[in-house]
Structure 1
Amino acid sequence: MTSQSFAPASTIAPMPRRDRLVPADLVAARYADVADRRLAVTLTAEDRSEEDGLNPLERITCRTHRRWLHDCVASPLHVVVVTGTRWCRSCERALTVAIDHVAGDVAVSCPSCGETPATAATRQLVRACRASLAAAHDR
């Protein structure tokens, strides 16, 4: 039997979360106060990628709300009539988006006709929200 000294469980410092170990230079100044460091890094990276040609509709974060896309996609600011993003062209109404955090799924439908538009914009929005959920929950 070896004699090892262990600290009582109550005095052991918790392991730092991976998102707390992000170097400050990976985060833009406008996101320095964002508590979720992984979100701050992703926001910064997507801002930089957008400057290099990333389509803003492909982001998994929201520059405006400084959140993961799935957390703010229901905002009226995310309706883009021109591209059909969150928009039912038949009914001329904003689509509703339901996010299932447990299953990691996204449902989009028109509150008027109940249909999910079979458009590239709707498919892209669902893909981006699923990716946002996965990134936020480290899946």
Structure 2
Amino acid sequence: MDTNPGFAPATTAEPTSLRRNRRDRLALRPADFVEPRYADVVDQHLARTLTAEDRSEEDGLDPLERVTCRTHRRWLHDCVASPLHVVIITGTRWCRACECALNVAIDQLAGDVSVRCPSCGDTPATRATRQLVRACRASLAAAHDH
């Protein structure tokens, strides 16, 4: 036993963190809760998914793994061709060899996603390109899963 009077005895109680309190507050919301910024989104499944991904992103979800787009308030596959989705640093929609934005084509019926460089015609075999294709396919699946 610690006999030093300057120290408080060790407790078994875990200190309450801000992150835990935030989760507890969010847990009180109903499962179909939609953030006010998405209240005017017609597709309620999309609005709930946007809300859930916003929460998950605050808790550590990689923004590049989202199936929705916070900026465009749409499914990722609906707006991935936007110039705003080119991220040169990570190589997302970017051909490093040609230094230009990649084209993305989405076939919603077949569920196919293709990415090509308009200059060299290649599909970069990068982690960022594979991730983008995965996220778009997951977006297609999530949009049709309701």
Given the two structures, how large is their TM-score scaled by the length of structure 1?
0.82
Higher radius of gyration, 1 or 2: 2
Deviations 1:74-128 (A, max 9, x none): 0000000000000000000000000001000100000000000000000000000
Q: Which runs of 5+ in 2 are unaligned?
A: 1-29
Mapped pair 1:66 → 2:73: yes
CA distance in 2, matches of 1:138, 1:93: 34
Give the counterpart letter for 1:59 in structure 2.
R
Gaps spanning 5+ residues in structure 1: where? 1-22
Instruction: Give the conservation status (yes or no) of the 8 Å contact 2:32–2:48.
Output: no
What residue in structure 1 maps to residue 62 of structure 2? 55
Count of aligned positions: 117
Distance 2:92 2:141 in 1: 21
- 2:94 paired residue number: 87
Residue of structure 1 equivalent to 2:17: none
Query: 1:1-139 residue pairs with structure 2 within 5 A?
Result: 26-138=33-145
SS in 1 for 2:51: helix
Identity between Structure 1 and Structure 2 (%)? 82
Q: Scaled by the length of structure 2, what TM-score is found?
A: 0.78
* Residue of structure 2 in register with 1:5 after alignment: none
1: CA distance, partners of 2:75 / 2:32: 20
Q: How large is the RMSD of aligned CA atoms in angstroms?
A: 1.3
Which residue pairs with 1:3 in the alignment?
none
Question: Is the CA contact 2:94–2:101 (under 8 Å) kept in the aligned structure 1?
Answer: yes
Dislocated runs of 4+, deviation >6 Å = none
SS at match of 1:26: coil
Q: After superposition, what is the alpha-carbon deviation per residue over 1:7-37, rounded to whole angstroms, capped at 9, x for unaligned?
A: xxxxxxxxxxxxxxxx685110000110000
1:38 maps to amino acid: H
